[in-house]
Amino acid sequence: MDSSPTKPVNLTEALASFDDVYSPRIVARMNDYDVRIAHAEGEHVWHVHEDTDEFFLVLDGRFDIALRAADGSESVVELHKGDVYVVPKGTEHKPSSPGGSILMFEPSGTKSTGDRHEGEIPDHVDSTTGHALG
């Protein structure tokens, strides 16, 4: 994706341009970060980003993030349209959703399934560093 200034990106139109779930599209870049959007539905995979926090903004629907503490205990953060949440680096987490869309800020090159993940990656989860929009 060209990092030079272009026309504004309308997120509603961008989300309407693809149907895949858990397959983020890069809508902008700033500094060394990607701004990504994705549709979410069903279960993602437990994973961890060792060296970066992960920012989520729920654009539509509901988006849940299960978190696993160092002692193995789990909790769930339930997010709704307009909610923002940051998963701290090194925290194991597993997104899930009954249906929704999200915006994420992540360093360019960050893999959607983390530095390591648990088990097999389901067919509906795209292990990617993001796709160009369009």
- For 12, other C-beta atoms within 10 Å of its C-beta total 10
Report the CATH number that the domain containing residue 82 is assigned in CATH.
2.60.120.10
Closest CA to 26 of 90, 88, 112, 94: 112
* 6 inside domain: no
* 23 inside domain: yes
- Count of the separate structural domains present in the chain: 1
* 2 inside domain: no
* 42 inside domain: yes
* 3 inside domain: no
What's the pTM value of the predicted model, to 2 decimals? Answer: 0.91
pLDDT at residue 5, rounded to an integer:
57
- Cα–Cα distance for residue pair 94/90, rounded to 1 Å: 13
Asked whether 10 and 27 are in contact (CB, 8 A), the reply is: no
Domain enclosing residue 108, as ranges: 11-132
pLDDT one-digit tens code per residue, 1-55 = 455 557 899 999 999 999 999 999 999 999 999 999 999 999 999 999 999 999 9
* 1 inside domain: no
User: What number is the average pLDDT over the span 71-92?
Assistant: 97
Tokens found for residue 31: 């500094």
Tokens found for residue 12: 């509603």
